[in-house]
């Protein structure tokens, strides 16, 4: 249920985007570039980071959807659950550990980021673009988690699965286009 008294029917980001197209329809192209554009991290790895950041923030809405997208892209559901439950003991591929550590630091204590976080990513065999995309995915999902929580958006597990499947297939621009059509606008 929305925290907007005049718009209690807003339950999803799509509802929010279609009801208030400016500025929200402009968020999806950014999400598309970060999550589906050319990057050293695969879309599955970026969705894993998105689900992880959302779990760290306690954002059930985004975690549910992006865990489903990651699962559709081949990320093991048990890994997603383990990361949400106990990230330190989760069976994460060694190369992804510094990516997730950077995302965790940036989410939980951004002012305490150090060069060592980026260096650990490079030491694991990634390049600076991996640092760029890890920071971008983390920043984007911290923003999205705060939008969702700020507006009080919630969903059922079934709705998260449907939204995740839609997002996996149609992408971030597909979400924007669907919301724009509901608002009677072009994406």
Judge whether 64 and 70 are in contact, CB under 8 Å.
no
Q: How many domains does the chain have?
A: 1
Instruction: Describe the crossing of helices 77-85 and 43-56 by its angle, rounded to 10 degrees.
Output: 30
Query: For the domain that residue 94 is a member of, what is the CATH number?
Result: 1.20.1290.10
Range of the domain at 66: 41-170
Give the Cα-Cα-Cα angle 16, 64, 72 (nearest 5 degrees): 110
CA–CA separation, 151 vs 52, rounded Å? 21
CA distances from 9 to 1, 78, 97, 155 (A): 7, 34, 40, 13
- Residue-wise pLDDT tens for the chain (187 aa)? 678 899 998 988 888 988 998 888 888 999 999 999 999 999 999 999 999 999 999 999 999 999 999 999 999 999 999 998 888 899 999 999 999 999 999 999 999 999 999 999 999 999 999 999 999 999 999 999 999 999 999 888 888 999 999 999 999 999 888 888 988 877 6
Inside any domain, residue 24: no
Inside any domain, residue 121: yes
């Amino acid at each position: 249920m929305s925290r907007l008294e005049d718009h209690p029917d807003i339950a999803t980001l799509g509802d929010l985007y279609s009801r208030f197209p400016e500025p929200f329809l402009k968020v999806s192209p950014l999400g598309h570039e970060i999550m589906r554009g050319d990057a050293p991290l695969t879309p599955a790895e970026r969705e894993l980071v998105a689900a992880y950041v959302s779990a760290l923030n306690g954002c059930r809405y985004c975690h549910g959807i992006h865990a489903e997208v990651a699962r559709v892209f081949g990320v093991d559901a048990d890994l997603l659950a383990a990361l949400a439950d106990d990230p330190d003991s989760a069976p994460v591929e060694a190369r992804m550990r510094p990516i997730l550590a950077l995302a965790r630091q940036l989410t939980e204590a951004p002012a305490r980021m150090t060069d060592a976080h980026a260096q650990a990513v490079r030491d694991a065999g990634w390049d600076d673009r991996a640092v760029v995309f890890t920071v971008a995915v983390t920043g984007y999902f911290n923003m999205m988690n705060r939008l969702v929580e700020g507006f009080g958006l919630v969903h059922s597990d079934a709705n998260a699965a449907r939204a995740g499947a839609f997002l996996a297939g149609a992408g971030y621009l597909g979400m924007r286009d669907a919301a724009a059509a509901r608002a009677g606008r072009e994406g």
